[in-house]
Every structure is written in C-alpha cells, then in structure tokens.
Structure 1
C-alpha cells in the first residue's frame, strides 16, 4: 500500500510511540499530585510544552494542550466571542475554512453574532485587501486558516494579521495543515492564536495545542480546576501531551534538515506527467 493522504492523518512516528510508553506503564501519576510519581508526570508535560513552544518560537506558557485542532479552534472562537462581547459581536472568516471553524461561527451567528466572509479567488486565496473593507468597530476576531487541507493554498497570514493589529482586532489561524511542513513562527506570522492538530504531524489522534499570545485573555471552553494555566480544566493527558511534544521536536529537526518543497514539487511534476499519458 502507498499512502499519500497525510493531510487527512499521519502515522505515529516510532520515536513518538516510544516516548509515550513510560507514561503508560510506569509514570502514570496525576500531574496535579505532589508526590514523586505525579511530579514526574508534571515535568513530562512541561517538557512537552517547551518542545511545542520551540517549534512555534514562543514562550511555553503560551501553549495550552487540547484534545485536537477542533477543540483549539472552538476554544478561540467561542472564547473570544464571550470575552469581548462588550466590545463587539462581529467575526470575520473565509468560506473555505475547516468545519471546525465554520460551524462554531454558525453557532455564534444563531446567538446573534455577525459573521462576514473574506472573498477568495479561483485558487482559494483570500483577498487581503478586502479585509479592511470588512472590518468594523464591532469586529473582535478574524480567523483564517494558514494552509488549506484540500487545495494546499497558503494564505498571507502575516499580511492579514498586520491589518488586524493596526485595527486592534484579534487574529487566529488554524495551522493544522501547515505546522511541521513549513515554518510557523508565531511572531513572524503576527498571530494572537494558532491551532495545532497532533495527528497531522506524526502524533496520535486526540491531542492538539493552542497558542495564546501572552496578555490575551479568553474565557475557557471547559470550566473546572486550574489546569493549563486556568485555560482548560481536566486532568492532563500526559501520554498524549508527551507524544505531541516529541512530534514537534522531530518536526523542528526535519524543517531544518530537509526541503519538503522540493519533494512536493517533484511529486506534482510526476503527477502531471502521468496524467498526460
């Protein structure tokens, strides 16, 4: 079998699976407990958090672990909507977003929020110049994916974020399809929020992360105890957090030692040649 649908999911890397094993069989303590078994788990989570932050070039405390990209997207969109309702009720997105962005927006629309859609061209590229025309005094969030999961189109995130920053509007990007494939340094992109899905970069399904720029407050999606800096309640999944951290460490090495674009271009040329036969 030749498997090429890595946009759908990736296999778990062997070193990622190996990193998980000690926290399944031996170091299974609750990270919130104060005895050694729990402290080992807590240290493992913080190491994983640092590995994710290293890939994105941000501070570890700006990383919140989630159950995946969908939760991260919902956390941002609903969190901003609830936290900044006093400022406005307008959100801008694009019509080609993943359902994990479009459906939360539609949910908020039923609650009375205003949703606008950036136009896209025949390649699925959003029109950055149209963003300023859509922004209003009531706009509280713009959310546009970094790379499209079907077309591969890479959006001008830095340009969009710069416009939002000028108008003091928060900006989020769903980077599930771009993290580990192209550089996603948050300061270069200029984003306030960035979502990661672990199973797109050799980690298991069911784990992800959300970057939240320091100083940006949003209402938690899940309320409870003070896990994840008070941003996501629930006992941490040490096994999956460790897996995502290891996957991000692998990704950073791969980005600096290989040229994925050369491989992609080669594959596209090969596909075009075979299609013409």
Structure 2
C-alpha cells in the first residue's frame, strides 16, 4: 500500500487523486505499525523473554526516523525534486515488504473459544478504557503544544522561528535514550509508576512553558518533554499488552488509535483556544489535560481485569 501510494505521489499532481491516495493507500501503512509491536511481543512471550527493553528499542527507532528522516527529505526535495523523493520512499516500502515477508516469523493465531467470555472484550475492561482515555489526554496535550509552539514563540515571544526547530529536534534527540532506559527501569519500578512519573514531568514541562520567557529556557525544558513523550511512547505499548495479553493485536491497535485520537482532538482544540484566547492559553489546556491523564492512570489497576 505504501509503495503504491508514493508512486502515485511521484507522478500525479491532481489534488483529489492525491487526497484519495492518502486516505486509501498511505494511511493503510499505519495499520502495520501496531502489528509489528504485537508480533514482537508474541514472539518474546513464547520464548519467555521480557518484552520491555525490546519494545522500547522498537519505539526508539521510530523517534530516530523522525530525527534523520525530515532533514534527508528536505535535502532530496530541494536538491533533486519531489518526484525522486517519493520514488525513494516507494522503493523503501518495496524493500521493507520483501524483508517482512521473507524474514519475519509466522505466528499462528490464537484458537477461538466457542463460548463468549465477557472478560475477553477490551470494551468491557474498565482498566483498559481508563488507560486508553489517559493516553488520549496525554497526546491531545502534546499535539496542542506541537501545533501552537512555533506560532507562540514567534508571535507572542518575539523569538526567532529557528527556535522551534531546535526545540523539536532537541526533544526528539532526548527521547531516544529515555526510551531505551525506560525499558530497563520498568522492570525495577513497574510500568505504571514510571508512566505516572513521566506524566508529572509533562505537567512540569507545560508549567515551564507558561512561565518561561528565555530562548535557553525553552530548549532546556525539552528534557522534561523528552521524559514525558519518551517514557509514555516506549512503555505505553507493553502496558496495554500486559492488561489484555489474549488480545495482542487489538490492544496494540487501541494504543495506537488512542494516540492518534488525542492528536486529532489536539489539532481541533488548539485552533479553537488560540482563536478565542491566546497561544499561552493552549498550554494551560495542555497542563490541565496532563493532570487529568495522571489522575486517570492512577485508577488503572494492574492486577486482573475489571469488566463493565
């Protein structure tokens, strides 16, 4: 799907065709990402290996892609052209397809039970719904910040627009070691405790963004942002999976969709709040959302499913 989508991008310039291609082909590629994490977890579980460190490593690779991908894309697009950029992306998808088909192990699906057990449903599990809601809050707050920050520092703080790029790059760079370390410390302190601490770091980050006025301060605050996003992104997947190991594919997709839902809502709320109040008010809303995420995740019980 990804290869088809980017081949169309390379040679077509019709807006409606590109829109349909994005909706049908390019968007479908995102469905594979949670399944990669689900496959990794099932392989490790069957080999009785812990999954926290490897899941964190996988998630860190996505952040690494965000660090190196945009500069490479910018260089190719400006130096050679968009057609060559999209063809390169299509060729990478083709290579990835071949690697996945010939190298990934085949995991047989779990046999279905003849009788329906209400506790097997992810939609009847109170803990899972609370955890999903907390991640919607977290990533709604994060996307509101990402959308509003470049405009805030240029229009309200009168700082150079390059500061936004430095801040985003610094946060992404910090996230990678944080992700790798979080998998190790989760075994010692527990995933819920570390994720809760990371959400508190996110709250402190938004407080800092609200009160800070200096260029250096904005950059230094990215350490808290890196902890917030790095830990929740790395451990969130395995925490969801721990709560419903029999539904590995569904639960991992729910984690992914909770993040995307938060992102979509964040875009809507950021625009509304900034129009009515100010960009700084957006960060107050992000602070409130992280506080709600913290209170919600505290209600998640690790031991046993609570059916609704």
Q: If the TM-score is normalised by the length of the shorter chain, which range does it land in?
A: under 0.3
Q: Which has the larger radius of gyration?
A: 2
**TM-score normalised per structure 1:** 0.24
Which one has more relative contact order, counting CA pairs under 8 Å at least 6 apart?
A: 2
Q: Which has the higher strand share?
A: 1
Larger helix percent: 2
TM-score (norm 2): 0.22
